[in-house]
Every structure is written in C-alpha cells, then in structure tokens.
Amino acid sequence: MGRWEPNARGRLEQAAMELYTEHGFDQTTVAEIAERAGLTKRTFFRHYTDKRDVLFAGSAYLQELIVKAVAGTPEPAPPIAAVAAGLDAAAGLLEQRWVEARARHSVIVAHPELRERELIKLASLAAAIAEALRGRGVGGRAASLTAEAGIAAFKIGFEDWISRPEPGDLAGIIRESLDELRAATAALSGP
C-alpha cells in the first residue's frame, strides 16, 4: 500500500461523477478521474475495480444500514414495519445527497450494463432483507415477498423522488408507495 491519501475514496467519487456528467461515462478514463482528484491511477485501483465500480461504492453501506434497521426494529412489529424502518434509514442517508443521487441515476439509466448492475444490487438487497426477516422468525416465502414489496416501494419511490424538480421527502414518498402497494393488493381480497 502506498502512502495514506486523505479521503481518497470521496475525492475519486466526486471526480468521477463530475466527469461522467460533463463528458459522459463512456468518454471518461480512470486516468482522468485520478487526475481530477489529484491522485494516481494506482490509488484509484487500490479502491475500485474499474470506473463502473465507483458508481456502486455506496451500495454495500446502504445495504448494511437497511439490514441493521430491519433486524433492530423492536418486536412485535410486523415484518413490513421492520422493512419500512430499514427503508427509512436508507432514505435518511440518501436525502442528504439528492443532487448526487440524480446525477448518478442519470448516468446509470443511459447505460444498459450499469442498469444491469443496479438491478443485481437491488436483487441482492432484497435477498439480504429477506434474510434479516428470517432472522426475525418470518417464514420462507413470506420473508421473500415482504422484502420484494419493500424493494418495489423503494425503487418506485426513489424514481419519483429524483424526478421531482426539488428535493422532496424521500422517506415520506417511500411510505406513500408502500401504502399504495397495500391499497393495490388489498383489492385482491375476495369474498
């Protein structure tokens, strides 16, 4: 390992997002990202596999935050309430970064291989939430379905949040989405 670079990850992420927005993702090289951040390519590769990786650097932390909140919701909350608490935690973090979230999302939707990676991250988040629910004693299929419901509300709520002209209340939008999901499926209950 080379010498310690203060906040190398933060600087690289910011430089990458700036360049992706200014010149496009395809046109940006790792060398340019490192240069803009005032660091070397070697430092870049100590932190990230490739320029795609920079965009997903926050995913692991977000997942950890959500899973911790799901697991830590006091009993006897119903499983969906634990999931909602997890999504609240994620929203609290994302709300501080509306501009960055919008920029990141616009890069991702423009590139099929980045969209694929985003879907993989969401699928692994759903699996991690289901696992946390199983840790709370929720049975197999119900755990997976409750987790998927949360991911659906998160995904649709997030897309709504970043498409608004001003930063809104992401936690509130996700709660509304969960409620709309409840209302939509409630129409199923037969006689």
Smallest distance, a second copy to C-beta of residue 139, A: 9
- State both tokens at 72: 């830590």
User: Which region, judged by CB under 8 A, interacts with a second copy, from 5-13, 86-94, 103-111, 119-127?
Assistant: 119-127
Whether the CB-CB separation of 169 and 175 falls below 8 Å is answered with no
Which of 89, 144, 161, 171 touches a second copy by CB under 8 A?
Answer: 144
Smallest distance, a second copy to C-beta of residue 34, A: 28
Q: Please count the residues of this chain forming the interface with a second copy, following the rule CB under 8 A.
A: 38
Displacement of CA 135 from its chain's centroid (Å): 22
Which residues neighbour 16 within 8 Å (Cβ) at sequence distance 6 or greater?
28, 33, 51, 54, 55
Contact pattern for a second copy over residues 57 through 96, marking x by CB under 8 A = ---------------------xxxx--x------------
The string over 30-42, giving b where at least 16 C-beta atoms fall within 10 Å of a residue's C-beta and e elsewhere, is bebbbebbebeee
* 127 touching a second copy, by CB under 8 A: no
- State both tokens at 18: 């700036």
How far apart, in whole angstroms, are the C-alpha atoms of residue 124 and residue 15? 27
* 164 touching a second copy, by CB under 8 A: no
Residues 12-51 that bind a second copy (CB under 8 A): none
The residue ranges that bind a second copy (CB under 8 A) are: 78-81, 84, 112, 115-117, 119-120, 123, 141-142, 144-146, 148-149, 152-153, 155-156, 159-160, 177-189
